[in-house]
Amino acid sequence: MSGGTRLENANPLIFQRSGERRLTATDEDEDVADPIDDREIFDIFSKSINDPEHPLSLEELNVVEQMRVNVNDQESMVSVEFTPTIPHCSMATLIGLSIKVKLLRSLPDRFKIDVHITPGTHASEDAVNKQLADKERVAAALENSQLLEVVNQCLSSRAM
C-alpha cells in the first residue's frame, strides 16, 4: 500500500504474545459488574491490528505494551502510548491512527481517547501526537477513502 518495495524495518525483533485472558468466576456471574480495565483495552487492539509492513501484530512487535495502557472507567478516560519500532518510522502516524480508530469503534461514546507516542522514541513525536489528538483532523482523515482503506486493512480481522 505504500507502494515502496523496501521495508523500513526489514528485520524486526519479535516479542512473545501474552496468552488469553483467564476467565474468573465473577466474569460469568450476572450480578457482578466488570469494570473496564487496562487489560481489556490492551486486548482490543494489541492482537487485532496488523503492522503495515509485517504480518505481525503490534504486540508481537512490542509497539504496544499493556503497561503503557491506562484506563479510568469512572472518569471515562483512556490513554495509550505506543512505541514505533524505529525512531524514524514513517508509519508512526498510521499506526497511531489505527489504534485510535479501533478504540473509537470499540469503546462507548463517553470515553475520551488519548493515543500518543512513548516520549523519546520518535523523531517527530510532537507533530504526530498533535495530529492524533485533534478530533477534526482524525475525522477528516477518515473521510479520505484512500487513508480509510489503509486503516481498514490494518484493522481487518486476523486469524488468531
Partner 1 sequence: MLCTFCELKTKVLSRQPQLLCACAAEFEAWLLFFRMAADNSVLLGLVEEFVSGQVDSKAAETVTGSALSLTSSQPQTRGRGVQLLSQVLQECYSSLSEKELEVLLAFYENRLKDHYVIIPHVLQGLKALTECSVLPPGSAVSILRSIFQDLHVQVNTFLKGLGADFIFGFVQSVDGERDPRNLLLAFQVARNIIHRGYGLGKFVEELFEVMSCYFPIDFSPVSTAVFQTASERVESAGLSAVSALVSCLSRSVLSSDSEDVLQVFLSLVLKDCQHHLCEPDLKLVWPSAKLLQAAAGASYRASLIVSAAVIPALLEQYNNRTQVRSLLMYFSLCLLHKHTEDSVLVAFQQSLCSVVFSALTESSAGLQVTATGVLTALGQQPGLLAQTDVEKAVDHLTRLILEEDDTKVSLAVVECSGSLAHLHPKAFISRLIPRLKEEILSGQSDAAVRQRCVTALASVSSLPSVVQESAPILLQVLASAHTGTHSFYSKISFLIIFSTLLFSYRSASRMASQAVSLFLDGDVSFLPENAFPSQIQLLQRKKQHLWDSSCHSFTSRQVEIPEIDRLLVQLEDLSCTCPHLFSYTSAAKCFAGLVNKRPAGEALDAVLERVMKRISVELENVSSAQRTQAFTLLLWVSKALLLRYHPLSTALTDKLFALLSDPALGSQVADGFCVLMSDSLDVLNRNCHADVRIMYRQRFFAENSTKLIQGFNSAEQEEKSCYLKALSHIVSNLPRQIQLTELPALLPLLLEALSCADQAVQLSTLSCLQPVLLEPPAAIRNQLEALFSRLLALTTSPVMKVRIASLQCVHALSRLPEHMVLPFRARVLKALAVPLDDKKRLVRIKAMVARGEWFLLGSPGGK
By C-beta, is 90 or 152 nearer to partner 1?
152
- From 4-12, 28-36, 83-91, 126-134, span contacting partner 1 (CB under 8 A): 28-36
Tell me how far, at minimum, the Cβ of 89 lies from partner 1, in Å. Answer: 21
Q: How far is CA 74 from CA 37, 59, 70, 71, in A?
A: 11, 27, 12, 9
Tell me how far, at minimum, the Cβ of 16 lies from partner 1, in Å. Answer: 16
For the chain, what is the HEC assignment?
Answer: CCCCCCCCCCCCCCCCCCCCCCCCHHHHCCCCCCCCCHHHHHHHHHCCCECCCCCCECCCCCCCCHHHEEEECCCCEEEEEECCCCCCCCCHHHHHHHHHHHHHHHCCCCCEEEEEECCCCCCCHHHHHHHHHCHHHHHHHHHCHHHHHHHHHHHCCCCC
Out of 2, 17, 34, 130, the residue judged to bind partner 1 by CB under 8 A: 34
- From 6-14, 30-38, 116-124, 127-135, span contacting partner 1 (CB under 8 A): 30-38
- From 5-13, 64-72, 82-90, 148-156, span contacting partner 1 (CB under 8 A): 148-156
Q: How far is CA 55 from CA 60, 99, 160, in A?
A: 10, 16, 12
Question: Quick count: other Cβ atoms within 10 Å of Cβ 48?
Answer: 19
Out of 14, 27, 134, 137, the residue judged to bind partner 1 by CB under 8 A: 27
Tell me how far, at minimum, the Cβ of 76 lies from partner 1, in Å. Answer: 10
* Per CB under 8 A, 77 contacts partner 1: no
* Per CB under 8 A, 22 contacts partner 1: no
Please report, as residue ranges, which positions from 104 to 133 form the binding site for partner 1 (by CB under 8 A): 105-110
Out of 3, 20, 22, 28, the residue judged to bind partner 1 by CB under 8 A: 28
Please report, as residue ranges, which positions from 48 to 67 form the binding site for partner 1 (by CB under 8 A): 48
